[in-house]
Amino acid sequence: MNEYTSTELMSAQQSEKYALRSNVTKLGVLFILYDFVFLHIGGQIFLYLYYAISNKSLNFDPTIINKFLQSNSNIINSSAFKMSFSCFVIVISLILVIITARIMGIKTLSSVKISKKNIRLGLLMYPVGLLANTIMTSITTIITKLFSSGGTTIPTADFSVDKASALAIITTILYLVIIAPISEEIVFRGLILKTLSPFGKRNAVVISALLFALMHKNIPQAVGAFAIGIIFATVDTKANSIVPSIIMHSLNNLLPCLVNINSSINSTVITIIYNALVYAIVIVGITITILKGRQILSLKAETESERSALPESKKRIEIFLNPFILIYIGILIYSIIASIIKAN
């Protein structure tokens, strides 16, 4: 700041403040559209297509569509249908986000930089991410059980496979291991880090982890997602690419995916493999954290080169108190509270 005269400093601060406010507002609008418009559009398209394929005719009357769905409730409630629905919806919503972001001047896909170095970094840091997620999930599980013993149910997401059909298993793996990780990393890491990192990498890391956590709309997942989201965003910031977090996210979802599939198969072999993998990866995660954790997870070198006329406190105000971000966070928190009330 000493490089500026007082007049130049005020001008630089105003320019930076306006640019930051503009970018944060774009993000807030995009996330509101993503979660409450694009996902809905994707869902409606899927249901209309399902009706059209099943009846070999088009119909856009919601009443007729709903009656058709109610008459096929056994199919609609199956894991294969739910996972197929989720895969389709998240792909459509991602496409709409990318298009909308591009209209706003944000090249979302430019953060996907594939290289051997980024792939190796993702594989190296996966055990560290799993370690953090395991610790936070274990703590949350204990707290959830305490609430449950007191008569309060804390709901969580359910991806269990009710019938072990080939389609159910394939779509579950496709959604949890491929489509969801890629889509969520593009939105919650690529979009946020690319838009906010120029104004301060640490703030970008924290807000990306916070929104990623709340997006899950249930407390048990949100706590673990925040912890692992910090690691994802930090690693991506160092790599200047979201490829490492895509790899980490996919592998992180792979183990629960085995549990979900095993919920219907009930195989002792899969249970043994799952437990052995978790213990082995956690041990590797502890080793990597001890030997390289500080080096890999520190953003000191990246933030030392940052030059900003706007004080950190004012940047945090612009980011965390932006009206659109607050609206989005408020809606997500309301969803979490509403799900707890409904479960009790």
* pLDDT tens readout for residues 26-45: 999 999 999 889 999 999 99
| Nearest partner of 258 among 131, 173, 133, judged by Cα | 173
Query: Model confidence over 74-120: pLDDT tens digits?
Result: 888 888 899 999 999 999 999 999 999 999 999 888 899 999 999 99
As to burial, measured by CB atoms within 10 angstroms (0-12 exposed, 13-18 middle, 19+ buried), residue 142 is: exposed
Q: What is the pLDDT of residues 242-301, one digit of tens each?
A: 999 999 999 999 888 887 777 777 778 888 888 888 899 999 999 999 998 888 888 887
- Two tokens at 153? 């149910």
Which residues are within 8 A (CB) of 322 and not within 5 positions of it... i.e. 6 or more apart? 21, 24, 25, 28
Encode pLDDT of 291-301 as tens digits: 988 888 888 87
Highest mean pLDDT among 262-271, 297-306, 311-320, 322-331: 322-331
Q: Output the six-digit token pair for 274.
A: 């799952």
Q: pLDDT tens digits for 133-190?
A: 889 988 988 988 888 887 888 888 766 666 667 888 888 899 999 999 999 999 999 9
- Report d(CA 96, CA 40) in Å as an integer: 12
d(CA 298, CA 129): 15
Whether the per-residue pLDDT at 220 is higher than 50: the answer is yes
pLDDT tens for residues 327-338? 999 999 999 999
Amino acid at the residue 257: C
Q: How far apart are alpha carbons 79 and 336 in whole angstroms?
A: 23
Average pLDDT, rounded, for the chain: 89
Question: In angstroms, what is the C-alpha Rg of the chain?
Answer: 22
What pTM, to 2 d.p., does this model score?
Answer: 0.91
Q: Which residue has the tokens 């599980």?
A: 141
Q: Please choose, from the candidates 19, 194, 33, the residue with its C-alpha nearest in 3D space to the C-alpha of residue 100.
A: 33
What is residue 4's predicted lDDT score, i.e. its pLDDT?
67
